[in-house]
């Protein structure tokens, strides 16, 4: 003898309670027949089955996305083996009133300075091309002191200054660079190798330091979006630009970072 438990089931008795010999339960569009002597009791739950779709949260304001080709691809998927970029995937959960993709294909952090437009929310995804071009990383003091000495940290300060010149009340999320390697010799054979004496992790570290200094949330693509073992399966090339699986992981990480400022 066993107890049957059904979620959100509709019980249809096939005869009166006193004379019933069998009954049928309809659950999620399927029917199940049972003999009454096989069932001790029936437990109903008020919980409904989880649905596969979720209504997006409406977010008032414009999101400006700054970044490299990884971000640029969001509006340029037709020529590549991807269906949608990470920003579109974010918008499926967080529906900003407006969205502007200001990413530059092949751009370094310096290219983001003039790409800044007026918006309410900004994300900055840079570092991978600066590694490819061996931009000196610099230090947090270069950022704090606005040295304008051509380092990644100094250029980052100029981007942030341009953002707050556009909107003093802007909310900003910084993104560490996604790990990558290869791409026809543009990058080393492993993400953890040095290129011209510079490691990709150094760009990720300075982004985290800037975020800590400014109290910005971080979407840590470097830490959470694939390592050497996974990058080949999360990229459509070797191994720089994400495929659909890679973009979805990035979207999940960025959504978590956005929710920190949307909850304030």
pLDDT in tens, the chain (264 residues): 444 433 343 333 333 444 445 544 444 444 445 455 544 444 343 333 333 367 999 999 999 999 999 999 999 999 999 999 999 999 999 999 999 999 999 999 999 999 999 999 999 999 999 999 999 999 999 999 999 999 999 999 999 999 999 999 999 999 999 999 999 999 999 999 999 999 999 999 999 999 999 999 999 999 999 999 999 999 999 999 999 999 999 999 999 999 999 977
pLDDT of residue 54: 77
pLDDT of residue 106: 97
List the domain boundaries for the chain: 2-45, 57-262
Q: How far apart are CA 140 and CA 69, in angstroms?
A: 26
pLDDT of residue 263: 78
Look at residue 136 and give its three-state secondary structure.
coil
Task: Give 57-262's CATH code, choosing from 1.10.3720.10, 3.30.700.30, 3.30.160.20, 3.40.50.1110.
Answer: 3.40.50.1110
Look at residue 195 and give its three-state secondary structure.
strand
pLDDT of residue 36: 53
Beta-sheet pairing, 171-175 with 194-195: unpaired
User: Which of 61, 62, 88, 57 lies closest to 74 in space, CA to CA?
Assistant: 88
Instruction: Give backbone dihedrals phi and psi of 162, rounded to 5 degrees, phi first.
Output: -65, -35
Look at residue 248 and give its three-state secondary structure.
helix
Cα dist. 226→96, 99, 185, 250 in Å?
Answer: 27, 27, 20, 10
Count of C-beta atoms within a 10 Å radius of residue 185: 7
pLDDT of residue 19: 42
pLDDT of residue 52: 38
Q: How far apart are CA 152 and CA 141, in angstroms?
A: 12
Q: How far apart are CA 16 and CA 251, in angstroms?
A: 54
Q: How far apart are CA 222 and CA 230, in angstroms?
A: 13
pLDDT of residue 64: 98
Residue 202 in tokens = 């150094």
């Amino acid at each position: 003898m066993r107890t049957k438990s059904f979620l959100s089931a509709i019980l249809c008795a096939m005869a009166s309670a006193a004379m019933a010999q069998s009954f049928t339960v309809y659950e999620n569009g399927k029917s199940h027949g049972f003999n009454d002597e096989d069932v001790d009791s029936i437990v109903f739950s008020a919980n409904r089955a989880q649905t596969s779709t979720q209504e997006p949260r409406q977010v008032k304001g414009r999101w400006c996305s700054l970044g490299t080709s990884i971000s640029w691809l969001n509006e340029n998927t037709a020529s590549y083996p991807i269906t949608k970029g990470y920003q579109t995937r974010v918008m499926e959960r967080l529906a900003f009133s407006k969205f502007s993709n200001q990413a530059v294909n092949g751009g370094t952090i310096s290219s983001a300075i003039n790409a800044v437009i007026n918006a309410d929310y900004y994300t900055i995804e840079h570092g991978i091309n600066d590694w490819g071009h061996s931009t000196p990383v610099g230090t947090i003091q270069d950022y704090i002191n606005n040295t304008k000495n051509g380092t990644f940290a100094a250029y980052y300060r100029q981007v942030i200054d341009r953002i707050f010149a556009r909107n003093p009340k802007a909310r900003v999320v910084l993104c560490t660079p996604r790990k990558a390697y290869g791409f026809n010799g543009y990058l080393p054979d492993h993400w953890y190798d040095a290129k011209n004496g510079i490691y990709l992790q150094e760009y990720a570290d300075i982004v985290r330091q800037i975020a800590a200094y400014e109290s910005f949330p971080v979407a840590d693509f470097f830490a959470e979006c694939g390592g050497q073992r996974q990058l080949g399966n999360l990229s459509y090339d070797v191994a720089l630009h994400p495929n659909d699986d890679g973009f979805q992981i990035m979207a999940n990480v960025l959504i978590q970072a956005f929710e920190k400022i949307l909850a304030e």
